[in-house]
Amino acid sequence: MTEVLFLSSDEVTDLAEPADYVDAVRSAYRQRGRGAPAEPRTALESDDPPGMFTTYAAILPETGAMGGYMYSAGFGARDAWFVTPLYDAETGTLQAIIDGASMNPFKTGAAGAVGVDALAREDATEVAVFGSGAQARGQLRATATVRDLERVRVYSTTRENRIAFAEEMTDVLGIPVEAVPAGEGSLAGADIVITATNATEPVFDGTNLEPGTHVTAMGQYHTERFEIDATTVERSVYVPDLEDRVYQDAGAFLNARSKGAIDDDDHVHAELGAVVAGMADGRTDPEQITLFDSGGTGIETVAAAHLLYERARAENLGTVLSFSPASEALTGR
């Protein structure tokens, strides 16, 4: 029998700060740039009842961990459950099973922040956020660890939500966060634009992006969802989390290609991991518009899970479960 640590969502909630997640995820993308294996997500969709079951995975040799994510969303319960199995990358032994709900915005936000750190101007101080949910919070909190932010403007379609977001993030970050009544108005002067929405259509006009802006888009994981318009993709130095994912479900990229705005043979600049590892240039001109297309991968998930596992062991948290290895279970020994 093998002892496996189960960590509940409550147990992992306060185990790490946003900066800790960013450091772990940066290391993971550097490993990806050096050749660490990672597969795009696989989504199985159901119409009756409506829902989606999603999986993805990665191996991080230097971290010594591998695993991934699996989650259901929708279906009859109209809710979601996130399960994260973590394995030892050398022995293959199952080490932990983590309830991934509370870590989700932090690990996804950390991926966005790694993109900001690799691609945004060093002097970036102003942020425009589209969206006011948990993912928008995670993105902004993580971004604040890699740039000295001075001002944030947030827009979402529900007035009460954007006001609540602004009040909360002002307290959390200690900088002015303003709720604005129109999304386009938030773009003026923005050095960094973050989109974290459920929109199926563009949330702003890419012609209004100022030279030198960096865009982090993390609602781009469905062929029919593109919160970023074709103009933004066309104007940008385009960097995805995984290049294979671009042609599978990166809605903004696929939309730009279908409209003839880009040539898909050369518009993908490089994966984020290649930029982080120094295998490809990031921003080479302060006037460039850069775009990190983040659809979610096992890279940030395994990095975050390993971070939480190590912290939990140090603090003696979690519940030990017994799992049978195949050598015992399959033979009945």
* C-beta of residue 214 within 8 angstroms of C-beta of residue 225: no
What pLDDT score was predicted for residue 184? 80
| 333: pLDDT strictly greater than 70 | no
Whether residues 15 and 125 fall in one domain? no
Whether residues 189 and 91 fall in one domain? no
What pLDDT score was predicted for residue 328? 84
In 3D, which of 121, 135, 100, 132 has the Cα closest to residue 15?
100
Whether residues 222 and 270 fall in one domain? yes
Whether residues 203 and 285 fall in one domain? yes
Whether residues 253 and 205 fall in one domain? yes
137 torsion bin: left (phi>0), alpha (psi -120 to 50), beta (else): alpha
Percent of the chain topping pLDDT 90:
85
Whether residues 111 and 235 fall in one domain? yes
Whether residues 126 and 63 fall in one domain? no
Confidence of residue 145 (pLDDT cuts 50, 70, 90): very high
Residues with Cβ within 8 Å of residue 265, at least 6 apart in sequence: none
Whether residues 109 and 99 fall in one domain? no
Whether residues 78 and 155 fall in one domain? no
Whether residues 138 and 21 fall in one domain? no
| 6: pLDDT strictly greater than 60 | yes
What's the residue count for the chain? 333
Beta strands at 38-47 and 2-7: parallel, antiparallel or unpaired = unpaired
CATH number for the domain harbouring residue 37: 3.30.1780.10
What pLDDT score was predicted for residue 264? 67
Domain count, the chain: 2
Whether residues 39 and 18 fall in one domain? yes
Residue carrying structure tokens 């982080």: 276
Domain housing 319: 2-104+298-329
Whether residues 49 and 130 fall in one domain? no
Alpha helices in the chain (DSSP H): 9-12, 18-33, 104-119, 134-143, 159-173, 230-235, 243-249, 251-258, 272-276, 298-314, 326-329
| 330: pLDDT strictly greater than 90 | no
How confident is the model over 34-48, as pLDDT tens digits?
A: 999 999 989 899 999
How much is the mean pLDDT over the chain? 94
Alpha-carbon distance 83 to 265, whole Å?
Answer: 36
